[in-house]
Amino acid sequence: MNFSKKLIAGVTSAFLMLGTAVAPIGESGAFGSVLLTSNAETYSDYEYQVLEDGTVEITKYSGSDSEIAIPSKIDGKTVTSIGDWAFEDCTKLESVTIPNSVTNIDRYAFYYCINLKSITIPNSVTSIGDSAFYYCTNLESITIANSVTSIGDWAFDYCTSLESITIPNSVTSIGEYAFNHCTSLESINIPNSVTSIGEGAFDQCSSLASITIPKSVTSIGYRAFCDCTNLKSITIPNSVTSIGDKAFGYYYNTDYDTFRKYSFNIYGYTGTAAEKYAKDNEFNFIPLDGTENAVTLNIELNASDKTMSAENVSISVDGGKAVTASNGSAELSLADGAYEITFSAHGFVPRTYTVEIKDGKLTEELTPELNLIGDADGNGVVNTLDIVKLKRHLIKVEPLTGYALDCANTDGNDTLNTLDIVKLKRHLINVEKLW
Ligand SMILES: [Ca+2]
Ligand SMILES: [Ca+2]
């Protein structure tokens, strides 16, 4: 199935490329050498066409810059679209700034931009087309504004360097195989605007250790989380009424045959699709009935010198009980009792809190606060004052305690020493960033 899908994608690509090449000939009706020139107009390194509404679509980038800012206007006309294949195979490209006049990023727009490292999708964009970032194997970070409502099929397939991504709460559908082969993706929070998770959406995300399915989701597609080898359990809210074949708890061999994991826990509610899936596939089912009293926590990321979204926080509870999180807050659906809850996010030092829930309520109010790696004094900024703090700790003038110790431990090993200062310095002179 996986292969046949790929094949179809490949055939479609070839067909589209042919279509692009042929169209100008038919339209212009020209002959001879004229045939070799496109009817697209050019502006600097861009080819473009004027759309029916008088706005501009970028159809091709022919430059070889590593860093580009796409213009918002060309010849006085607003650029609204990045067309199919526009930046295909731009292997020199490392960073792109998309102007906030663009509403559509079309199919294969950044296909095979293998050196593209980061991209920000502005809050004018409403859709990310199929295979838009397919095989951008160096893409480490992507910021998607909360104007985007749909993420196309295969949109981020083979983005193997992507460690985290924030899906804004404007997105209602995640396309088929959208994050397939995102092998570095460690956590993802699906916002509570999403109603369906497409077939194979997170297929082969081998680093994915935790996943939160919000209560807005009603269907989880075929193989949606198949071959997520690090995923040991999943919590399914009772809003989910349909779960596709081998959606989770299975892995592939090299021939893409599927095998059932020996140990996989499904947390869910009795009498729902989750229980049926667990029984049908002989997985351990842990009922969550009686835990419907949700407790909401507001999570704060202490990072004034870095743009971070609390939507990206990943939450784990000892025993793997039900947790849903979105938009900087976590909703815990836990039975009465004491729990250790760990909050983590890329660039931040994970933090564990002990909470007690009684009669469906927290016994003490809790606002989890995470500090950046290196922020020893916890003021949201990593600078030379943190080095001073660390030095004063090392000479025992002002010892750091608790969470501050972890924040100062920039290399993440077992001790605080001068190597942590070296790491901090290298971060501050932009030699080796901590995040
Ligand atoms: Ca600081
Ligand atoms: Ca250390």
Ligand nearest to the CA of residue 414, numbered in listed order? 2
User: Is the confidence at residue 427, as pLDDT, over 80?
Assistant: yes
Cβ neighbors of 140 (< 8 A, separation 6 or more) are: 117, 118, 161, 162, 163
Measured in Å, residue 351 CA sits from the centre of ligand 2 at 17
Q: Which two tokens stand for residue 250?
A: 């299975």
Mean pLDDT of 326-342: 72
Measured in Å, residue 418 CA sits from the centre of ligand 1 at 17
Mean pLDDT of 289-298: 70
> How do residues 141-170 score in pLDDT, each as one tens digit?
888 899 999 999 999 999 999 988 888 989
> How do residues 85-142 score in pLDDT, each as one tens digit?
999 999 999 999 999 999 999 999 999 999 999 888 999 999 999 999 999 999 998 8
pLDDT at 11: 40
pLDDT at 355: 87
Measured in Å, residue 377 CA sits from the centre of ligand 1 at 5
pLDDT greater at residue 377 or residue 312: 377
Mean pLDDT of 185-214: 90
Ligand nearest to the CA of residue 376, numbered in listed order? 1
Ligand nearest to the CA of residue 387, numbered in listed order? 1
pLDDT at 298: 79
Measured in Å, residue 435 CA sits from the centre of ligand 2 at 16
Indicate the pLDDT class of residue 360, thresholds 50, 70 and 90.
Answer: confident
Among 74-83, 231-240, 298-307, name the most confident range: 74-83
Ligand nearest to the CA of residue 305, numbered in listed order? 1
User: Is the confidence at residue 180, as pLDDT, over 90?
Assistant: yes
| 44 residue type, one letter | S
Measured in Å, residue 387 CA sits from the centre of ligand 1 at 9
Measured in Å, residue 390 CA sits from the centre of ligand 2 at 11
Among 17-31, 179-193, 318-332, name the most confident range: 179-193
Measured in Å, residue 67 CA sits from the centre of ligand 1 at 31
Q: Where in the chain is the domain with CATH 2.60.40.1120?
A: 293-371
Q: Which two tokens stand for residue 233?
A: 């359990």
pLDDT at 240: 96
Between 3-17, 254-268, 351-365, 370-384, the lowest mean confidence (pLDDT) is in 3-17
pLDDT at 21: 37
**Angle 181-182-185 (CA atoms, 0-180°, nearest 5)?**
145
E strand segments, 187-293:
187-189, 196-197, 210-212, 219-220, 233-235, 242-243, 250-252, 258-260, 265-268, 284-287
Measured in Å, residue 384 CA sits from the centre of ligand 1 at 8
Beta bridge partners of residue 5, listed in sequence order: none
Measured in Å, residue 373 CA sits from the centre of ligand 1 at 10
Q: Express the helix, strand and coil content of the chain in percent, nearest 5 each.
A: 15, 30, 55
Place of tokens 């970070």: 141
Ligand nearest to the CA of residue 304, numbered in listed order? 1
Ligand nearest to the CA of residue 406, numbered in listed order? 2
Measured in Å, residue 187 CA sits from the centre of ligand 1 at 26
pLDDT at 34: 34
Mean pLDDT of 253-271: 90
pLDDT at 324: 54
Measured in Å, residue 302 CA sits from the centre of ligand 1 at 10
User: Is the confidence at residue 224, as pLDDT, over 50?
Assistant: yes
pLDDT at 337: 78
Mean pLDDT of 380-387: 94
Measured in Å, residue 350 CA sits from the centre of ligand 1 at 17
pLDDT greater at residue 367 or residue 292: 367
pLDDT greater at residue 235 or residue 226: 226
Indicate the pLDDT class of residue 328, thresholds 50, 70 and 90.
Answer: low
Closest CA relative to residue 154, chosen from 3, 258, 5, 4? 5
Measured in Å, residue 408 CA sits from the centre of ligand 2 at 8
Measured in Å, residue 356 CA sits from the centre of ligand 2 at 32
Q: Quickly list DSSP for 271-339.
A: TSHHHHHHHHTT-EEEE-TT---EEEEE-EEE-TTS---GGG-EEEETT---EEEETTEEEEE--SEEE
Measured in Å, residue 120 CA sits from the centre of ligand 1 at 26
Measured in Å, residue 413 CA sits from the centre of ligand 2 at 5
Measured in Å, residue 432 CA sits from the centre of ligand 1 at 18
Measured in Å, residue 389 CA sits from the centre of ligand 1 at 9
Mean pLDDT of 262-274: 91
> How do residues 49-83 score in pLDDT, each as one tens digit?
999 999 999 999 999 999 999 999 999 999 999 99
Average pLDDT of every residue of the chain = 85
Q: Which two tokens stand for residue 276?
A: 């049926």
> How do residues 271-293 score in pLDDT, each as one tens digit?
999 999 999 999 999 888 766 66
Helix axes 418-428, 384-394, angle to 10 degrees: 170
* CATH no. of 293-371: 2.60.40.1120
Measured in Å, residue 115 CA sits from the centre of ligand 1 at 32
User: Is the confidence at residue 356, as pLDDT, over 60?
Assistant: yes
Measured in Å, residue 365 CA sits from the centre of ligand 1 at 26
